[in-house]
């Protein structure tokens, strides 16, 4: 299913008027972007339009390659205005960029197309005056927006909390405010950053920017709660989402976050179970936290964990972080690892257990004769002292192998 993503929210008429006035005074194309380099307002062209500008007008935002390039110049941390170089391969002309701030808080970026990378003194003065007015205008608008986001955050956190009375009151309040529709099928997704960037507001803006396109789609109505390092998205649907839809949504969110924040943020996603009632939102949230923990610990998940696909790992990952360590690995499995040819025997054991003890399927998968397989299985039993015909002994070894997966190098992050 194709998910329709929302474009960046347009600026107010007052902000648009300031942009148009500056553009006419300079005779240059002017735009205001948000801190994620997504278009808020733009002027008419003055013969200086480039492919990036045209594409942005058509799509509502620049492509990810352009956003990554602009953010890589460090513009969100610039203390003052400056130029960024053009890039022929991106179709980008040079721009004069002014960070729009109020009391150190970055509200957006004022960008002026300057192909020659030279501005007269009267032009820089005009840009500075306009930037101050734009920042003041955006600050007032952001106060109202931040209040709305805070109210939405509080509602989400109450809906997924463990307090039954608070959840009931939140459902009633959400419906009275029109924030919760009639749809009942619920899905909660948690997005976790490994650590907040030095600019906390940039992390929060990136989380919001990556998720807001999924708040209102053809198939879902959503609410979002943003924190410094974590975001929670609650979606209500007329029907449970398909697996392909959930996978595509997670991939898109990860791609957006990597564009806005770079690889250092190392985002992971946890998708909770699908529940037929809003009453199950808190359960889906708890499951999403477990799935996010799986995504952090298991590189094979490629940063996206889904409760419905975790199987027995869902149980193991609910152990406290301090308890999930090498002490849980059964001694017979450690003995097997230390024996001569232990890696081969471990691979044989894993294949045998994952094929439910089927000799034909295990032999075919390993590409060995059944006689060789029987020989290896006897070795495993002799070394471990366990009987592979005993269900409890099989479970001990299988859980041990699963625990080792969670303890593998690179898989020890906490969520």
Q: Is residue 368 left, alpha or beta, with left meaning phi > 0 and alpha meaning psi from -120 to 50?
A: beta
Which positions ≥6 away from 246 have C-beta within 8 Å? 187, 271, 306
Q: In 3-state terms, what secondary structure has residue 100?
A: strand
* CA-based nearest residue to 48, from 111, 95, 110, 115: 115
CA pair distance 155, 288, nearest whole angstrom: 18
Give the chain's domains with CATH numbers.
13-145 (3.30.450.40), 183-318 (3.30.70.270), 322-406 (1.10.10.2840)
Contact 186, 280 (CB under 8 A): yes
Compute the distance between CA of residue 214 and CA of residue 371 in angstroms, rounded to an integer. Answer: 55
Per-residue confidence (pLDDT) for residue 9, from 0 to 100: 52
Q: What is the model's pLDDT at position 199? A: 52
pLDDT at position 200 is: 56
pLDDT (tens digit per residue) in 140-149: 888 877 788 8
Whole-number Å distance between alpha carbons of 342 and 334: 10
pLDDT on residue 409: 60
Q: pLDDT tens digits for 364-389?
A: 999 999 999 999 999 999 999 999 99
- Look at residue 175 in the predicted model and tell me its pLDDT: 86
pLDDT score recorded for residue 4: 32
Could you tell me if 98 and 26 are in contact, meaning their C-beta atoms sit under 8 angstroms apart? Answer: no
At 201 the pLDDT is 67
Instruction: Give the tens place of pLDDT for each residue, 208-232.
Output: 989 988 988 888 889 999 987 899 9
Residues of the chain with pLDDT under 50: 1-8, 197, 412-415
pLDDT at residue number 6: 36
pLDDT value at position 181?
Answer: 76
Phi, psi of 111 (to 5 degrees): -120, 130
The rounded distance, in Å, linking the Cα atoms of 248 and 260 is 19
Torsion angles phi and psi, residue 279, rounded to 5: -60, -25
The span from the CA of 145 to the CA of 12, in Å, is 12
Task: Give yes or no for a contact between 220 and 252, defined as CB atoms under 8 angstroms apart.
Answer: no
The C-alpha atoms of residue 249 and residue 73 are separated, in whole angstroms, by 29
Rg of the chain's alpha carbons, rounded to an integer?
Answer: 27
């Amino acid at each position: 299913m194709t998910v329709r993503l929302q474009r960046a929210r347009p600026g107010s008429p007052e902000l648009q008027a300031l942009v148009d006035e500056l553009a006419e005074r300079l005779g240059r194309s002017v735009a205001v972007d948000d801190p994620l380099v997504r278009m808020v307002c733009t002027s008419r062209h003055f013969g200086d339009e480039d492919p990036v500008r045209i594409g942005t007008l058509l799509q509502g935002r620049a492509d990810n390659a352009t956003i990554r390039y602009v953010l890589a110049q460090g513009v969100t941390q610039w203390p003052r205005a400056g130029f960024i170089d053009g890039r022929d391969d991106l179709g980008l002309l040079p721009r004069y960029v002014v960070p729009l701030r109020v009391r150190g808080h970055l509200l957006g970026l004022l960008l002026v197309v300057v192909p020659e990378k030279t501005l007269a003194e009267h032009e820089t003065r005009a840009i500075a005056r306009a930037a101050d007015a734009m920042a003041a205008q955006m600050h007032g608008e952001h106060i109202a927006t931040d209040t709305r986001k805070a109210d939405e955050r509080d509602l989400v956190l109450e809906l997924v909390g463990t307090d039954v009375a608070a959840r009931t009151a939140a459902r009633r309040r959400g419906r009275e405010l029109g924030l919760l529709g009639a749809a009942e099928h619920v899905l909660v997704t948690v997005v976790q950053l490994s650590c907040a960037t030095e600019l906390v507001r940039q992390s929060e803006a990136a989380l919001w920017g990556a998720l807001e396109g999924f708040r209102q789609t053809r198939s879902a109505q959503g609410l979002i709660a943003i924190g410094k390092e974590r975001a929670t998205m609650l979606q209500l649907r007329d029907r449970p989402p398909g697996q392909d839809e959930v996978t595509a949504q997670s991939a898109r969110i990860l791609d957006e976050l990597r564009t806005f924040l770079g690889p250092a943020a190392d985002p992971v996603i946890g998708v909770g179970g699908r529940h037929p009632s809003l009453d199950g939102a808190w359960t889906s949230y708890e499951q999403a936290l477990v799935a996010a923990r799986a995504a952090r610990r298991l590189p094979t998940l490629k940063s996206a964990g889904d409760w419905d696909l975790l199987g027995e790992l869902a149980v193991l990952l609910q152990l406290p972080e301090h308890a999930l360590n090498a002490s849980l690995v059964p001694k017979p499995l450690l003995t097997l690892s230390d024996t001569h040819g232990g890696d081969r025997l471990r691979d044989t054991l894993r294949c045998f257990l994952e094929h439910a003890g089927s000799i034909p399927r295990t032999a075919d998968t390993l590409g060995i004769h059944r006689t060789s397989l029987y020989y290896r299985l006897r070795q495993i039993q002799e070394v471990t002292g366990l009987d592979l015909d005993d269900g409890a002994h099989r479970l001990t070894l299988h859980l041990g192998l699963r625990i080792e997966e969670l303890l593998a190098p690179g898989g020890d992050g906490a969520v």
